[in-house]
Chain A
Amino acid sequence: MIEITPRENPSRLLTAGVPVLAAVLSLVLAAIPLAFAGAPILDAYGQMVTGVFGSAFAFTEMLTRATPLIFTGLAAAVAFKARLWNIGGEGQLYLGAMAAVWVGTGMIDGPPILMVPLVLLAGAIAGGLGMLGPAVLKTRFGADEVVTSLLLNFIILIFVQMMLEGPLKDPMSLGWPQSEPIVDAAVLPQLMEKMRLHAGFLLAIGTAVIAHVIMAMTVWGLKIRAVGENPAAAKHAGIPVTRVFLAVAFASGALAGLAGVSEVAGLKGYLTADLSPGFGYTGIVVAMLAGLSPLGVVASAIFIASVFVGTDSMSRAIGVSSFLADLTVSMSLICVLLGGFFARFRIRRLKAGEAA
């Protein structure tokens, strides 16, 4: 028999330590599939580390990969704080990217000081509207936003493919379904010579800091937390619950939209239907691993990007499937969920005959 009792007040060390432990544990557990694949395990870990920290280029590549994950992680973290289950980050990312391309491929002509903010704004608005839909359906008709926002992902992706075959298609692309390139004035500047790391990364960090400040220090943050934790009491206290909910939905969608803008205007330069390898979904893992803390999102996005980039380079070096990265990321989520359970509850084994 075991006895499970809730911990009255889980310590800060415990709540902060659990995700870190979970991350480490998921890396350790990756040894099991590595062993099955017959890879030299220590060598493989070595390759992973070199793949991320081995050179300035490798390191900036990792940060480049972390950039969209910070945005989508923030999108999930902000929404989940208000108990708004935005699973549509992937679709909102594409909406943001599409709006950026629409505004940034010659519709308007201007200097970078005007074009960059415009492109960002357009993407944020498009993403925000993308989540506002499911949120309105939720507040008006009680439709489950998990289902509506998730299904919207597929609709949006197919819509993007249609646009790329039609109005958005680049006539110079030799038949490939891709958009025209973003004009130079709207491109997010590179941070270093010969590296792909771009200003989107700094923007992501800044956004995380702002999100943290809003959540922890403002009336709005308090309202969001109150609405998420107990909407009935929030309503009773005079907080406009529906309005807060819709505002959070818009903000969350906008953050995911910025991920799309940053990928298209900072990295790729043009839109294709394979812009995102599931950044929207991975953002959910990032947010959970971060315990929904905006600053934690930065750390967990960097961890998960490291796993992806490190495993990529490992698989190239020793010929192990790069799906190992997905496996490790998934295990980290399972570990953090289990870890959260152990942080909230005290588990004690009872000796035979002992009273619980």
Chain B
Amino acid sequence: MTTSQPVLSLRGMTKRFGTVTAADAIDLDLSRGEVLALLGENGAGKTTLMNMLFGQYTPDSGSVHVWDESGTERLLPPGQPHAAIEARIGMVHQHFTLAENLSVVDNILLGTERLFHLNRNRRAARAKLEALMTHSGLHAPLDARIRDLSVGERQRVEILKALYRDVRILVLDEPTAVLTPQEADGLFVSMRSMVAQGLSVIFISHKLREVLSFSDRIAVLRHGAKVGEMATAEADTHSIIRMMIGEEHDAPERSPGKTGETALRLSGINVAPGRDTGGLLDVSLDLKAGEIVGIAGVSGNGQSALARVISGLVAPSSGSIETATASQTALTPRTALAQGIGRIPEDRHHDGIVAALSVAENLVIERLDDPEVSRAGFLKRSAMAKHAEDLSAAYDVRGPGIHARAALLSGGNIQKLILARVLETHPGVILANQPTRGLDFRAAAEVSRRLIAARDRGAGVILISEDLDEVLSLADRILVMHAGELTETASRDRSAIGQLMAGHAA
């Protein structure tokens, strides 16, 4: 319950990097038992602000005030990470910070014990954890190793880790990105009960629906400055989006497309589960030209395996793959490209680009032997440069230039680079795996618009996404993936699809 008792106050936080002002005199207040949603596009300054709070960055100016239980105000010394920990401020990062080879208990205790303490009081720690789990409703198998847990479980461990340290202020950075709607709802119920007991939460999210249902107050950042703040009760989606991007946000325009011949047919595909990915159980899929098939599901249920099969990175143990030009038991990246399958990989940094190569080189890396790119083994440098200039302009790839390393591009621009590379060859099949993950509204809308345009041109698109809203707004047909099986659903109802995602028959 929100009280008027303050716990945290950021005053005039400013941080400049060179000529860029990443945070410009931001004020932020948090009361005991309050959930404050922090909103903003990518690069709006959310991460910079949190990094200053946690002492990772030292602000150029500004101060952090905290109040302890007795209501005594204290100033946090800047640039000292342990000061935030001592003030009992905790953060759950979007990217987990768990040791994969250790058990849940070990991960939670890590860093709380003294280095040279010989006898570890595990029993007391376990008792405290058990109590904490009942208390919060967040459950995790204490003795399992992290590497054997699902993403949802890992996240619960992260939160338990913070709670175990008796945090009074918890920062959640996009906590539901990897959860089913049901799991997300469960998380909010747990967090609500913790909040009722006095926990204060700063909640960073791109999902407005969650922000509206979970938070008490909303603060919006844009271009490093706070542009607005309001009570959640008085806010609605339109007013928030207007504040975030400074203009009305339109849902992508789409009309039902005209479907044509089969563009890709998977029949009876089986893949054994890997160490950290789910497998596929007798998956069949018939993708027509001119349609977007959305695949919803919680991560780890086989989406990666499906994407890897279509990308040509994994050979199924059985089944067949039929494209417009050939039928085979397995694809390779080369044959996939040759048969007109464009791939937008899930992890764009890991699979999508070679960061040390230039933008121009990354744009042609999938067709190095194309006569437009090379002759007799020699690269056509000037043709490549012109090609890169044209594509960057057409797809609005912004950065320090086409000869700069791709590493210097922002996440959204890297995705635009990949999109440009995939779409310029007019592939008949497009595999888009989490194409808008981590992108801000504007970049995400651009990606959606491009995918719809490709569909209208006659491409068959497979859209794998954990964001159900995205699937609902883009897909012509929806399939749900659970435990390696693919189920088609005619329903457009969030909770019905959520049931399927959790493995219950509709």
Binding site for B on A (CB under 8 A): 1, 8-9, 217-220, 222-223, 225-226, 229-230, 232-240, 354-356
Residues of B within 8 A of A234 (CB): 354, 365
Whole-angstrom distance between the Cβ of B439 and the nearest chain A Cβ = 19
Q: A8-B408, A218-B377, A230-B354 are in contact. Are A235 and B333 (CB under 8 A)?
A: yes
Which chain B residues (373-416) contact chain A, with CB distance < 8 Å? 373-374, 377-379, 381, 400, 404-405, 408
Find out whether the CB atom of A236 lies under 8 angstroms from the CB atom of B343.
yes
Report the minimal beta-carbon distance from A327 to chain B, rounded to whole angstroms: 34
**What DSSP secondary structure best describes chain B's contact surface?**
loop
Whether the Cβ atoms of A233 and B337 lie closer than 8 Å is no
List of B residues within 8 angstroms of A239 by Cβ: 365, 368
A218 lies within 8 A of B356 (CB): no
- How many Cβ-Cβ contacts under 8 Å join chain A to chain B? 84
Q: Which of B334, B357, B373, B400 contacts A225 (CB 8 A)?
A: B357
Asked if residues A229 and B365 are in contact (CB atoms below 8 Å), the reply is no
Complex: A237 Cα to B313 Cα, angstroms: 10
Query: Given that A9-B408, A218-B379, A235-B333 are contacting pairs, would A229 and B356 also be in contact in the complex, using a CB cutoff of 8 Å?
Result: yes
A219 & B368 in contact (Cβ 8 Å cutoff): yes
How many whole Å from B399's CB to the nearest CB in chain A?
A: 11
Q: B332 on the interface (CB 8 Å rule)?
A: yes
Are A355 and B79 within 8 A (Cβ)?
yes
Determine if A222 and B352 form an interchain contact, defined as CB atoms under 8 angstroms apart: no
Whether B351 lies near A238 (C-beta < 8 A) is no
Chain B residues closer than 8 Å to A222, beta-carbon distance: 357, 361, 365, 368, 379
Chain A residues in 8 Å Cβ range of B336: 238
- Pair B354/A356 contact, Cβ less than 8 Å: no
Q: Is the CB of B356 within 8 A of A230?
A: yes
Contact A355 B78 (CB under 8 A): yes
CA distance A239 to B313 in the complex (A): 12
Residues of B within 8 A of A219 (CB): 368-369, 373-374, 377-379
Distance in angstroms from A207 CB to nearest chain B CB is 18
A55 to B313, CA, bound (A): 61
Instruction: Out of A8, A223, A238, name the residue touching B334 (CB < 8 Å).
Output: A238
In the complex, A342 Cα to B366 Cα: how many Å? 35
Which residues on B sit within 8 Å (CB–CB) of A237?
A: 333, 365-366
Determine the residue in chain A with the shortest Cβ distance to B404: A9
Given known A-B contacts A222-B379, A229-B356, A233-B351, A238 and B332 have beta carbons under 8 A apart = yes
Contact A217 B368 (CB under 8 A): no
**What is the minimal beta-carbon distance from B125 to any residue of chain A, in angstroms?**
34
Distance of A2 from chain B, by nearest CB (Å): 12
Judge whether B153 is part of the interface by a CB distance below 8 angstroms. no
Binds A, one of B53-61, B84-92, B166-174, B190-198: B53-61
* Residue-wise interface mask of B (338-362) relative to A, using a CB-CB cutoff of 8 A (1 in contact, 0 not): 0000010100001111111100010
Q: Which residue of B lies closest to A236 (CB)?
A: B351
Q: Are B379 and A236 in contact (CB under 8 A)?
A: no
Chain B CB within 10 A, most for which of A1, A8, A229, A355: A355
Nearest Cβ on chain B to A231's Cβ, whole angstroms: 9
B57-A233 in contact (CB<8A): no
Given contacts A218-B377, A355-B79, A356-B79, contact A223 B368 (CB under 8 A): yes
A238→B337 CA distance, assembly (Å): 8
**B354 touching A226, Cβ below 8 Å:** yes
A238 touches B354 (CB 8 A): no
Q: Among the listed A9, A220, A229, A354, which residue makes an inter-chain contact with B377, where contact means beta carbons less than 8 Å apart? A: A220
- The CA of A356 and the CA of B337, in the complex, are separated in Å by 48
Counting chain B CB atoms within 10 Å of each CB, which of A218, A219, A229, A354 scores highest? A219
A9–B313 alpha-carbon span in the complex (Å): 33
Across the interface, name the chain A residue whose C-beta is closest to B60.
A355
Cβ contact of A235, chosen from B313, B361, B379, cutoff 8 A: B313
Q: Which residues of B lie under 8 Å from residue A9 when comparing CB positions?
A: 400, 404-405, 408
Asked if B304 is at the interface (CB within 8 A of a chain A CB), the reply is: no
B332 contacts which chain A residues (CB < 8 A)?
238
A-B CB contact pairs (8 Å), 13 listed: A1-B79, A220-B377, A225-B356, A225-B357, A226-B354, A230-B355, A232-B351, A233-B351, A234-B365, A236-B311, A236-B351, A238-B332, A356-B57
- Chain A's nearest CB lies how many Å from the CB of B506? 35
Q: Which residues of B contact A235 (CB under 8 A)?
A: 313, 333
| Among B78, B355, B357: residue with most chain A CB under 10 A | B357
A236 touches B333 (CB 8 A): yes
> How far apart are the CA atoms of A355 and B60 in the complex, in Å?
7
Please name all residues of chain A whose beta carbon is closer than 8 Å to the beta carbon of B312 when the two chains form the complex: 238
